[in-house]
């Protein structure tokens, strides 16, 4: 492992509990050449905020007004000079100005096998309920680059899990969580290698 004095930098965007953000932070500890440099969060009550203290990672809170203020928001992001922005449980649509400023440098984690079960309003339990209602025999996760449309960017990687007729939306969520914890961090790190 080479000690790179100038590691590649990841900014994580998250809105919730942050289990995938924590896994990514822990995994980067084994990679001297890659570092999570900031968490951007749009939910002041998100569990992820407290969890970032363990890693001494600064948290930048923002609201919709901040997010729409192109100049000021880009300035905040550029302070950290990110090589990659990872959306790990971040629920807002990324505005076109950010897609333009970071082409093929923003990735999203989606809890289904895109292009199925993607689009506006398809997140969390809504996805798992839709997968169950469609009687799918498999589901999974998709990691994809972000473009101007919800869940339509180029897919980087997908990981699948089999479903049984007895699966519920809750058990599907559990299976998805295992996939995320197993594959997401290393996949994201791999994009910077």
Active site residues: 110
SS3 call for 7: coil
CA–CA distance from 163 to each of 60, 91, 114, 176 (Å)?
38, 25, 16, 11
Within 10 angstroms of residue 62's Cβ, the number of other Cβ atoms is 18
Contact indicator for 31, 189 with CB cutoff of 8 Å: yes
Token reading at 153: 């960017």
Side by side, the strands of the sheet bearing 8-14 are 59-61, 34-41, 8-14, 84-87, 106-110, 138-145, 155-162
Cα of 45 vs its chain's centroid, Å: 18
């Amino acid at each position: 492992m080479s000690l790179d004095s100038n590691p590649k930098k990841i900014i994580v965007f998250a809105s919730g509990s942050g289990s995938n953000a924590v896994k990514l932070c822990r995994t980067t500890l084994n990679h001297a050449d890659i570092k999570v440099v900031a968490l951007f969060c749009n939910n002041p009550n998100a569990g992820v905020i407290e969890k970032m203290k363990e890693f001494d990672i600064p948290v930048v809170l923002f609201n919709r007004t901040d997010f729409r203020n192109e100049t000021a928001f880009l300035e905040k992001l550029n302070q950290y000079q990110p090589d990659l922005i990872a959306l790990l449980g971040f629920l807002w649509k990324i505005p076109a100005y950010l897609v333009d400023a970071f082409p093929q440098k923003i990735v999203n984690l989606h809890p289904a096998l895109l292009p199925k079960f993607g689009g506006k309003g398809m997140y969390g339990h809504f996805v798992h309920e839709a997968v169950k209602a469609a009687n799918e025999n498999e589901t999974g996760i998709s990691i994809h680059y972000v473009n101007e449309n919800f869940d339509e960017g180029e897919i980087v990687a997908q990981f699948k899990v089999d479903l049984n007729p007895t699966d519920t939306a809750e058990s599907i969520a559990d299976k998805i969580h295992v996939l995320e914890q197993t594959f997401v961090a290393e996949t994201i790190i791999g994009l910077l290698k």
